[in-house]
Amino acid sequence: MNARRVLEVRRLGRTRYADAHALQQELLARRVAGEIGDVLLLTEHDPVVTVGRGADVAAAGEATTPIVAVERGGEATFHGPGQVVGYPIVLLEEGRRDLHRWLRDLEEVVIATLADFGVAGRREEGLTGVWIGTRKVCSIGVAVRRWVTWHGFALNVTTDLAGFGTFQPCGLDPGVMTRLADHVTRPLTCAEVEDALVGHAARILGFDASDG
């Protein structure tokens, strides 16, 4: 029987986007080279709007926060405090080398996490991400190099949704965005949401988690 792979979890706390992006690039290169194993970075970013390959920087419109063009798929989205951002840097093994499946797996991790807090998450036909009812709570966009994934998901927990209000996030009306805190009856912390995400990521993606 083959041993399960270990997913090293690194909780970075609050970070500047540029610093987390540089760390992703470093770990990606090392994972491609076989120098390290699989890693999941968890963080909250200082306010920033990122624009993926599906749009140009103009898609961020009149956003007043810094705007950064990045390598992931998808369009423009906001990151800020109160949002749990996960960057899995994972080698997709033969038999799992399907980016559509990878996106669906990441959605499933988030849907299972929401269920832990008594909230029903769902997919929206033809779109990527996770919704609660008619409103979007999690954006997902990934990139891959030599079958190693990077970038990932952004789950709104207690995020100030005003950060989405000056552009069309993922090409959608900004009013479609929501956060987990608005669908539960008790206070939430990003740390407890991270705990749930780690457990479901390990189970759904097929790892044992090493949470440092």
Which residues are bridge partners to 68 per DSSP?
50
C-beta of residue 180 within 8 angstroms of C-beta of residue 110: no
Alpha carbon 65 to its chain's center:
19
Q: Is 170 known to be catalytic?
A: yes
Annotated catalytic residue, options 155, 170, 177, 196:
170
- φ, ψ of residue 194 to 5 degrees: the values are -60, -45
Residue 192: strand, helix, or coil = helix
Distance spanning both ends of the chain, measured CA to CA? 26
CA 99 to CA 102: how far, in whole Å?
Answer: 5
Alpha carbon 38 to its chain's center:
16
Q: Residue 30, CB half-sphere, CA atoms under 13 Å: how many?
A: 12
Q: Where in the sequence numbering do the catalytic residues fall?
A: 170
